[in-house]
Structure 1
């Protein structure tokens, strides 16, 4: 019995194996992510509008709308002279080439990561080209540093200065790259990084970084260093990635690793685009928008609330580098929407497709040059007397009202005491002061009448 059970089990296993090999399975192809350059337009518009509001300008100020309206054409003008980017079969300017042409390097003067926690850094050159640098796989992108907490320090820059970071290895790599720059040497990739046994010092080629348990002079996010009081990205060129200097934007786009394309775009780039668009629009003749805040430009930190409120509308690196040609459905690819969060309505099917003109069977009647239609008649304009008559003729029965006169006799009492005495001294007093008493009583009765009318 045991032998038969084993044989049956072996047969079942063989059948299942054969079925799994020869039974066809359905494999569904996955579509590549579609770039949406309009998300960059939304983000730039949101940066401009939130920047104007935070600087005390109301949305109902005519200059508020004019600023947005003048910045969009300026972007279109820049796009006309921007380098084309080729992705697949599409060749057209992209937001990346707009950023290079509009000189965002004047605002972002350091190598900035395209994506948040991305691999590739770009430095926008004044000549419209890109200096590329990349973080080698496996190298930490950086640990955040909190003010007062632990940190690493190193001597970096040309000229030299002290920088601080939460990542000692990355800071030591930066010190090595800057030391070679000071010596007039090209970046080198043939160096190694190692740490002392007590983890207090990082050595990377010619660069070193020292650890401190507390007292960090400021805060800096992951992947950055505090350099002259500003948190900036690293621009070292670590192994094994070869440096690429002064390449066209289209070439730099082709070098972006696929791992970075669908990561969220760095807000620093959106803030720089918004600043440059506002600044260049404000410099045009006849500009009627808000003045550009030269001493208080829009920062990436100001975009954080909008990003948190609209995560689905924030652009990716793919949206930033994808060619954005003008099409029939999108004739103004560089326009800035007045409402960045409004949905994009794409009618399906397209309007007026397969429909007839409802007035086709009833053509318009042509009345000719003189249809003999008289001029409209207007009512006669009333005179001033006619306008005032309803008030002047109010209550006509009271117009002839007269108060009837009263004839009174001053009382003169008599007193019988040692003869008859007539008391009329008061009558003589009143009679001698009749005009004054009449005026006083007239005023008193008029005041009483007025109080009665007002209290009604």
Structure 2
């Protein structure tokens, strides 16, 4: 019996050891996975750009650099962005980075990159599906090998006889710029393939392996043209003017080659769709089909990047794509939407949003040109809009990560008493604070605009304010209902030889004279008042 319990104890001990080891493995994998997918650290480039653009626009339109309403505008814009940042937490479908909001999430909440739309940044395009769940990034194609291809020393495609179409590879070389290399399968005794250079290492956007030779193409449009001609060649059996349908076969009507996402929207596959006219005993039949273009090998960085989370997108973007600057029009949209949202808040004390003269590309472009190192790029869209552990989005020309709004990150003092970043030029100088702090902004981005400083009208007195309400019209207070001499009508009619006079309605009206008088007095008074005021 004791041996039984001893064996049971040993078994339980090993079970616990195995369970503990399994938990360690799971936790280790989770830690490694989370570290591999950490969101880019916040840098507040977009936060500072918004503040600088608002300051520049306000000054260019005649507001004083130290006008406290500029600071109040930034504060309200930060509060508005914070509200969007909070709402987006946990609901960032397709636009969250590991479920957490980033600047692209906030921008989407402002209507930028809405469902079914796209955002263009240089040569990169970010598009969002109609349901809003999937983001696709189209990057510029990588530069492929072939720049040193020895065109003058390789055999050129031969010209076919009059009744024959040019072979598919030869047509690709002559029309789509295809390059031919020999592979390791080419025998030295094979004079055809050995005449071509050896296939190099490096980027190959689209390659098609024919055994001893390989054909390389640079762009997707070249691939579609290549496959379109191939299907036409096959339908006509390589004969000029021949119809495969007329000979009991089929004619190729259309060929489309494009990338399509898989069911999980995490990868893209090159797919060829075909439309053919097929001969049947009962007449022509149009058939459509599609299949993965497995005969083409797609190089790295060529396929669009697709994902349901921004972490799936960011990790597959090239450094060149991440460095693409945001279009000034996009920056103008961000500023306009945030400013307009802030101005609609109760108790707003900032600059009025210029609905008839919003911020435009022309307002943003000069600042971007003067401050290229401060202008946001694609990478900044994937960064948090707030410090870790917080959801507050600071809009300030001096804000830095892990610092409070309006504090100089270098010295920890107020920007009113220490140098900061000039929001107009990006140089050092005193800047306007935030949270209602009045300070001097030494900004001169456009020179003297030649516009006088705004002036305030004289403050009206209480009597001036109440007079239009108490005395709307001079004669209105002395108006009275004019006298009248009307009498109640008593119609008379003959019935069965007798003359009958109706007086009951007059008796009834007389009984309720006060109520009827009051009702009609009020009705006619209101009607007269509306007529007078409308005039």
Which interval holds the TM-score relative to the shorter structure?
0.3 to 0.5
Length-normalised TM-score, structure 2: 0.34
Structure 1 or 2, whichever has the larger Rg, is 1
Length-normalised TM-score, structure 1: 0.39
